[in-house]
Amino acid sequence: MRHAYRQSAEEPQGGVRLRGGPAVARETLVFWGSAVLAAAAFAVVAPLLLLQGLGSMVDGDRERIWMLTVFCGGVMALLFGASGMLGATSYMTVRDVKDAGSVMEAIKRQHNRRTDRGGPGPYTRNFAIWVIATGAILMGIYSALWLTLR
């Protein structure tokens, strides 16, 4: 039985090599795989629950309700992820300047705090980016549904 990936000695720690392709970090595969799985699960389950709740009121509009639910979920995920990205920034406050004694010292302390944490981590560890990716995948699913069901 052939596997979609195999370990090799020249790969980075925890990475996998896809057939004939470059080495990919395992956390990258987990990031994109979980985003695709979450988007697909939402695209299947949410409309079913909504249609079950509406009952027979909407017999002729099932496809439109499905597309609208997937579209709204995708837009909401994109906006929620964007707000998470905007809210994640760390601002320097007057209290920081007062505690440091000068503006330049406060800037140095803030820079040191960021670099002590390792700076911004890879995108695979950022939940806001994951939500944006899931929303983009939902928009792709919506586009495929629109092209198929229109």
Length of the chain: 150
Give pLDDT, residue 27. Answer: 83
Residues of the chain with confidence (pLDDT) below 70: 1-24, 56-60, 88-90, 114-121
Give pLDDT, residue 110. Answer: 80
Closest CA to 136 of 59, 70, 90: 70
β-strand 5-6 against 23-25: which pairing, if any?
Answer: unpaired
Residue labelled with tokens 């909401």: 76
64 residue type, one letter: R
**Residue 18 to residue 116: CA distance in whole angstroms:** 34
pTM of the predicted protein model = 0.65
Give pLDDT, residue 86. Answer: 81
Q: Is 126 helix (H, G, I), strand (E, B) or coil?
A: coil
